[in-house]
């Protein structure tokens, strides 16, 4: 048996994450497999007629039907009495899985075929020239989601494919990364102990599409995990069973700055976008219980909302140089600068330092007059 | 054994006898009775096949592609929109030389949506590289399925076969059919021996990329093999005749030899045409009917030989290549081009969207043939509705 | 019927395509530092590094594209990327 079930001489870019992942996957799965492959980078760089890199039986049909071809191969093996002895793996890129291939994948899982579906997630349609897909992360630059005067790159978050696979009924679902090759290989082997539909999504950096140094592929993959942007976890029968924890999550900027596809975020004005990405990362850390600590992107700490009791509020009556605060529907507004609140008095009827929620009903104006006044806190004891 | 069965059931029985190992299909009227009957056979243990409930026709075709590549005998059926949805996969199956068998229960194409019979669907995919056989009767439909597996899997063919049968007219009509026994079919059709397949014992890569230096030769090979498959179709039909007592040929000569005016058609409408030929012959008129059974590859030589020297050829078909002519018309004219004895060729479009075709329709065509020939004459149009063209308000 | 040419390919045949001609830099090993840990072998996208303990780092320069991942991931800094000299 050859040492590698994916032979060299293929035309993947130097440093290609997907080439690395595919080799690890087939090596872990062993020679008694049949692989179906959607159209994409992996298919193209391994099968230029009359050569093929694959040392295992392999078939490429179309872009959107890897899971359906795999379904057909799986039932054929059943008909031949070879189920369990020969296993079926279906490969697809993020586009061929989450977008155009979603229907076939859903049908395959729903029908319960014994197939391991592997999604090589390089976060865009790389083979056709780096166009945006359903798994392109927020603010990533692609050729169809470029950054410009109005756009900051892609404007939608990643589709949660593992959740979709689990909801369809995949017995075993996992995410993996080329940052952790042994973990990836273990997951492939583990998946194959299940009889039924399985889904593994592998994060594979793309030096060309993400525009990074080829040698940094493993490091960038690792940072995606360490920031919380790419959670690594396993699910069985729809429930999360294992999560790769991160002790001290790194701020997303460490990941973003190594890739030119995020370079536009480091221009003036991009700070808000980076914060949004940090929030996405933190949300992942919370949701998957990856870490108890969260990285900050801003230098100063976020101010927690100050709580005011009615007694404390009374102090801010706008007199003698004191600030004028009023409470409305649970929020405390600073109206000191308003000419309508001289010395904390409003039209002789209302006074600062009080809760004016009920007074609004009789007012000759609506609550939108409060727009523009800074909110300095919340009123304690308010449910809303 | 003769049984009165629905046309669809006859096909299902025939397919069952061929022992397919994988069946994948998606429901669409009027194909449904075929796959429902097959499901019942599997449910009762009468047919040992893997039955896959595909979630779309595109996937149904992909599933049989994968199964066939893995070396087993695979079958699917569809109609109309389903056939067009799987069109991409049909080209792929033929290009990969996989011998699947597909039943197209002919139905009209949207828009407007219409579930009734015409042949626009199978004509729309005639370029895909499938062998196409058109059935005139339910008996022929059932028999052709048994022949189809043998043709497709023949070592010099390895090309998928599509059997076209008219929706409702054939699929939903009840007739006494001769259904062979399992022993008879086993004797005629041995198990499939795939010359190349997905197997870890002999790893191969299917569906590699064909660059400009290679692609053209691959298409040339398929084109040549498809043309040469005509001889295999003849041969298998002859063998079938010996084994079961019925054979159909690749074309049928119905009083063509001394005819001056010849109808050319395919599918169930041929039956109606033959009736009119009989009537006109009784009146002393020299008419005949050339039935096309094998449509792809097109039997250029046979057609040319039979029609040279005739006065008029009346092509009757239930399809239209919008903006041009019917498909059969254009193939027929191609076969006659350059002949010094080429007849006048008339192109008649009939029966679209299930419009009823009676002997009156055919007699009307005879009337029309007194006028100068047109390549795309629609017959039996309702003049009141014709006036309601979407562009009518703009004036002539 | 022979294998249909142009549609089906034989396994492992890309070995004819020597991608080593692509590289600008080549990895060079310091055998003193190499501990045969196998990290580079695991991470090579081409799969051409072979470490058979107790033997040390060995790669197939016919195929090495010079991506530099092996040098990056080596925990002992035993690999350096040097300019390819023809």
Looking up residue B63, the CATH number of its domain turns out to be 3.40.50.970
Q: Measure A54 CA to nearest chain C CA, in Å.
A: 5
Q: Is residue A300 part of a domain?
A: no
C-alpha B161/C-alpha B158 separation (Å) is 9
C-alpha B368/C-alpha B279 separation (Å) is 18
Mean pLDDT for chain A? Answer: 93
Helices (H), B204-350: 215-244, 269-282, 300-307, 327-336
Q: Are residues B176 and B323 in the same domain?
A: no
Q: Decide if B37 contacts B213 (C-beta within 8 A).
A: no
The pLDDT assigned to B270 comes to 98
Q: Are residues B262 and B342 in the same domain?
A: yes
The pLDDT assigned to A359 comes to 85
Q: Are residues A257 and A374 in the same domain?
A: no
pLDDT at A382 over 60: no
The pLDDT assigned to A30 comes to 95
DSSP assignment letter at B273: H
Residue-number span of the structural domain to which A261 is assigned: 17-287
C-alpha A356/C-alpha A379 separation (Å) is 12
Read off the pLDDT band of A240 (50, 70, 90). very high
Read off the pLDDT band of A17 (50, 70, 90). very high
Residue-number span of the structural domain to which B284 is assigned: 251-381
C-alpha A175/C-alpha A166 separation (Å) is 12
Q: Decide if B273 contacts B263 (C-beta within 8 A).
A: yes
pLDDT at B167 over 80: yes
Q: Are residues A88 and A197 in the same domain?
A: yes
Contact at CB, C10 and B158, closer than 8 angstroms: no
Q: Are residues B33 and B175 in the same domain?
A: yes
Give kind and range of the element (H or E) at residue B315.
Answer: strand B312-317
The pLDDT assigned to A143 comes to 95
- What is the total count of domains within chain C? 1
Q: Are residues B169 and B290 in the same domain?
A: no
Contact at CB, B22 and A75, closer than 8 angstroms: yes
The pLDDT assigned to B115 comes to 96
Angle at which helix A181-191 crosses helix A17-29, to 10 degrees, equals: 40
Q: Is residue B330 part of a domain?
A: yes
Peptide bond into C54 cis (omega under 30): yes
Residues whose CB falls within 8 Å of the CB of residue A354, separated by 6 or more in sequence, listed in order? A313, A314, A326, A327
Using CB atoms, pick whichever of B59, B70, B204 lies closest to residue A65: B59
Query: What does each C-alpha distance from B144 to A134, B81, B134, B181, B236 come to in angstroms?
Result: 46, 23, 9, 15, 10
Q: Are residues A208 and A327 in the same domain?
A: no
Q: Is residue A294 part of a domain?
A: no
| Segment B126-143, tens digit of pLDDT | 999 999 999 999 999 999
Q: Are residues A125 and A33 in the same domain?
A: yes
Best mutation target, A4, A50, A61, to test chain B (most B CBs within 10 A): A61
C-alpha B31/C-alpha A148 separation (Å) is 52
Phi first, then psi: give them for residue A332, nearest 5 degrees. -105, 120
User: What's the average model confidence in pLDDT over B356-366?
Assistant: 97
Q: Is residue B229 part of a domain?
A: yes
Per-residue burial over A266-299, b = 16 or more CB atoms within 10 Å of its CB, e = otherwise: eeeebeebbebbbebbbebbeebebbeeebebee
Contact at CB, B59 and A78, closer than 8 angstroms: no
Using CB atoms, pick whichever of C2, C6, C11 lies closest to residue B210: C6
Q: Is residue C53 part of a domain?
A: yes
Complex ipTM, two decimals?
Answer: 0.95
CATH code of residue A369: 3.10.120.10
Angle at which helix B138-153 crosses helix B215-244, to 10 degrees, equals: 130
C-alpha A113/C-alpha C32 separation (Å) is 51
Residues in A closer than 8 angstroms to C49, CB to CB, are: none
pTM of the model: 0.87
Chain C positions touching chain A (beta carbons under 8 Å) = 5-7, 9-19, 22-23, 42-48, 50, 60, 63, 65-69, 71-73, 81
Angle at which helix B269-282 crosses helix B359-368, to 10 degrees, equals: 70
């Amino acid at each position: 048996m050859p040492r590698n079930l994916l032979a060299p001489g293929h035309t993947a870019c130097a440093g290609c994450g997907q080439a690395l992942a595919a080799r690890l996957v087939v090596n872990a799965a062993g020679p008694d497999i049949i692989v179906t492959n959607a159209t994409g980078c992996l298919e193209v760089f391994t099968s230029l007629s009359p050569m093929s890199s694959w040392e295992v039986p392999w078939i490429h049909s179309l872009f959107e039907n890897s899971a359906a071809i795999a379904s057909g191969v799986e039932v054929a093996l059943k008909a031949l009495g070879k189920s369990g002895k020969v296993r079926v793996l279906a490969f697809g890129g993020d586009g061929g899985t989450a977008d155009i291939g979603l229907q076939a994948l859903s049908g395959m899982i729903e029908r319960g075929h014994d197939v391991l579906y592997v999604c090589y997630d390089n976060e865009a349609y790389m083979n056709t020239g780096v166009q945006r897909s359903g798994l392109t992360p927020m603010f990533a630059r692609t050729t169809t989601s470029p950054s410009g005067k109005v756009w900051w790159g892609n404007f939608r978050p990643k589709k949660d494919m593992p959740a979709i696979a689990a909801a369809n009924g995949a017995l075993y679902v996992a995410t993996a990364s080329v940052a952790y090759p042994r973990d990836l290989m273990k997951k492939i082997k583990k998946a194959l102990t299940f009889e039924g539909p399985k889904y593994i999504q592998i994060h594979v950096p793309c030096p060309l599409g993400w525009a990074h140094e080829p040698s940094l592929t493993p490091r960038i993959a690792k940072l995606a995990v360490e920031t919380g942007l790419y959670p690594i976890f396993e699910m069985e029968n729809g429930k999360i069973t294992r999560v790769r924890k991160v002790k001290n999550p790194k701020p997303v900027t460490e990941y973003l700055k190594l890739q030119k596809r995020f370079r536009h975020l480091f221009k003036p004005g991009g700070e808000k976008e980076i914060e949004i990405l940090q929030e996405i990362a933190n949300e992942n850390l919370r949701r998957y219980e990856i870490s108890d600590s969260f990285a900050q992107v801003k230098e100063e700490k976020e101010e927690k909302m100050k709580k005011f009791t009615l007694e404390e509020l009374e102090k801010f009556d706008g007199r003698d140089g004191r600030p004028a605060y009023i409470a409305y529907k649970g929020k405390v507004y600073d109206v000191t600068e308003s000419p309508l609140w001289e010395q904390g008095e409003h039209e002789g009827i209302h006074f600062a330092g009080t809760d004016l929620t009920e007074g609004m009903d009789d007012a000759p104006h609506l609550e939108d007059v409060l727009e523009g006044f800074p909110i300095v806190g919340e009123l304690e004891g308010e449910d809303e | 054994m003769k049984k009165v069965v629905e046309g669809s059931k006859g096909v299902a029985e025939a397919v069952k006898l061929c022992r397919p190992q994988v069946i994948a299909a998606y429901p669409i009227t009027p194909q449904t009775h075929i796959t429902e009957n097959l499901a019942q056979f599997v449910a009762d243990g009468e047919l040992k096949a893997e039955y896959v409930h595909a979630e779309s026709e595109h996937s149904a075709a992909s599933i049989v592609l994968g199964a066939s590549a893995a070396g087993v005998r695979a079958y699917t059926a569809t109609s109309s929109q389903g056939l067009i949805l799987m069109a991409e996969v049909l080209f792929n199956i033929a290009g990969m030389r996989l011998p699947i068998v597909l039943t197209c229960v002919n139905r009209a194409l949207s828009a407007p949506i219409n579930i009734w019979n015409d042949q626009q669907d199978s004509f729309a995919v005639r370029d895909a590289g499938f062998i196409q056989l058109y059935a005139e009767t339910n008996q022929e439909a059932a028999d052709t399925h048994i022949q189809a597996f043998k043709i497709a899997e023949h070592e010099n063919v390895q090309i998928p076969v599509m059997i076209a049968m008219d929706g409702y007219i054939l699929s939903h009509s009840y007739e006494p059919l001769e259904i062979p026994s399992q022993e008879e079919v086993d004797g005629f059709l041995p198990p499939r021996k795939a010359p190349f397949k997905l197997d870890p014992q002999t790893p191969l890569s299917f569906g590699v990329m064909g660059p400009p230096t290679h692609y053209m030769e691959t298409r040339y090979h398929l084109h040549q093999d498809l043309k040469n498959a005509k001889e295999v179709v003849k041969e298998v039909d002859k063998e079938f005749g010996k084994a079961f007592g019925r054979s159909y040929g690749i074309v049928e000569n119905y009083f063509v030899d001394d005819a001056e005016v010849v109808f050319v058609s395919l599918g169930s409408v041929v039956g109606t045409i033959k009736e009119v030929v009989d009537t006109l012959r009784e009146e002393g008129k020299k008419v005949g009917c050339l039935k096309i059974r094998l449509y792809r590859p097109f039997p250029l030589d046979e057609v040319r030989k039979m029609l040279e020297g005739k006065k008029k050829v009346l092509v009757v078909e239930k399809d239209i290549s919008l903006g041009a002519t019917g498909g059969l018309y254009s193939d027929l004219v191609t076969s006659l081009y350059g002949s010094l004895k080429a007849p006048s060729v008339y192109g008649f479009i009939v029966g679209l969207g299930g419009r009823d075709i009676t002997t009156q329709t055919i007699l009307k065509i005879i009337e029309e043939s007194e006028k100068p020939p047109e390549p795309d004459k629609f017959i039996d149009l309702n003049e009141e509705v014709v006036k309601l063209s979407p562009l009518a308000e703009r004036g002539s | 019927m022979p294998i249909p040419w142009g549609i089906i390919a034989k396994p492992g045949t890309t070995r004819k395509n020597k991608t080593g001609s692509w590289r600008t830099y080549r990895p060079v090993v310091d055998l003193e530092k190499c501990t045969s840990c196998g990290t580079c072998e695991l991470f090579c996208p081409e799969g051409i590094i072979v470490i058979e303990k107790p033997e040390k780092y060995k790669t197939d320069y016919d195929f090495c594209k010079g991506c530099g991942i092996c040098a990056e991931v080596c925990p002992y800094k035993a690999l350096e990327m040097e300019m390819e000299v023809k």
